[in-house]
Amino acid sequence: MRMIAAVMYEQGLPAPFAESKPFRIEEVELDGPGEGEVLVEVRGAGLCHSDLSVIEGMRKRPLPVVGGHEGAGIVQEVGRGVTGFKPGDHVTLAAVAGCGQCRFCLVGRPGLCQAVSGAKAEGLLGNGARRLRLANGGRLNHYSGISVFAQYAVVTPQSLIKIDHSVPLDVAALFGCAVVTGAGAVFNSAKVKPGASVAIFGLGGVGLTAVMAAREAGAARIIGLDVLPGKFDLARAVGATDCFDVRDPETIQKVLDLTNGGVDHAFEISGNLGALEMAQKITVRGGEVVGVGVGKSTSTFTIPHLPWVCEERVLRGSYMGGGVPQNDVPVYVDMYLRGRLPVDRLRSEHIGFDRLNEGFDLLHGGGVVRQILLPHG
């Protein structure tokens, strides 16, 4: 079929993106689902900082590629051998998917599956297939195995989670990355306990979800940190007990004083090395820093060796929530429906394809939390 999609031909174009246009909106070809694949009509796709890092060239991708890794939609067709999904199902599309057979998948860590991640790195679906083509028949790559900056997507069932029809599809899109990543970092990776103190660097969609999850976990002190104080009202509204501007040279000491020596868990969401260094400095002895945000693929950082050992500090990575989306997302959806995880408050606005590049300018400037692309208008 022919459909409208957002295609990236070049990384590293300069801002403003409304002028350089990293995404070109054009007609492309999408083959129907093959064996073990599902065709989804995309009804909402979130604009994420991970997408922004790809636009900026911080993480390389095979080009040209149809963007988007956080979305939701309606199943239109299932390929031979697919069970568990049928036309009409509402689904969230998630970038994390595993083969189901390797050592990582068997212990519930599909985000570490090398078989699927290898295929995705080559611009393929998780099963190694390619269903996208340029209008002239040329090669066109999939992004994170789903490519939801498009009207339709063919994906493997491992990338899908069935969603209750009562959840608006623009909200359901958020569960594919922002929610599963932020909440999973708190519940799966850090396993935050009641009464704990936490700090969260970066109050975008993922960071604010982590704030909500920390409140749900029973954390006594939830500290939000960002370079944009304009985000603090929303952070407090969804659970933050305190907020600080990281540009304030007194912030580290203020957090240490407030928490009697440091927080139990510091979540670095922004992917900024300076924030990661600050996170280490505000963590209590025996505490942990959880790295959630990703930066340049070539970036490195240092750990003070002696205190790391003698003070029993922990440095932990958390990729896309560190869990199994098929298990976790229904739990988070239930929390949302009961008002305990108000992720609908992350939505900044709806946009169409005509504003997609401009949307990334707004995201780059920090003035929005989560814009939702509506591929069908």
pLDDT the model gives residue 73 = 98
Looking at the fold, whether 64 and 121 belong to one and the same domain comes out as yes
- Which of 81-84's residues contact partners 24+ apart within 8 Å by CB, and which partners? 81/35, 81/36, 82/33, 82/36, 82/37, 82/38, 82/157, 84/157, 84/162
pLDDT the model gives residue 344 = 97
Per-residue pLDDT tens over the stretch 355-367: 999 999 999 998 8
pLDDT the model gives residue 297 = 79
Q: Residue 92: is its pLDDT beyond 90?
A: yes
pLDDT the model gives residue 99 = 85
Supply 279's token pair. Answer: 């996170």
Question: Of 289, 317, 345, which one is at a domain's C-terminal end?
Answer: 317
The residue segments making up the domain with residue 34 are: 2-177+323-373
The radius of gyration of the chain's CA atoms, rounded to the nearest angstrom, is 20
pLDDT the model gives residue 298 = 85
Quote the number of domains for the chain: 2
Question: Of 298, 317, 336, which one is at a domain's C-terminal end?
Answer: 317
Query: What is the value of pTM for the model shown?
Result: 0.95
As a whole number, mean pLDDT of residues 332-349 equals 97
Categorize the per-residue pLDDT at 309 as very low, low, confident or very high, splitting at 50, 70 and 90: very high
Q: In CATH, what number is assigned to the domain containing residue 191?
A: 3.40.50.720
Q: In CATH, what number is assigned to the domain containing residue 112?
A: 3.90.180.10
Looking at the fold, whether 304 and 331 belong to one and the same domain comes out as no
Q: CA-CA distances (angstroms) from residue 327 to 276, 282, 308, 342?
A: 30, 33, 34, 19
Where does residue 114 fall: left (phi above 0), alpha (psi -120 to 50 degrees), or beta otherwise? alpha
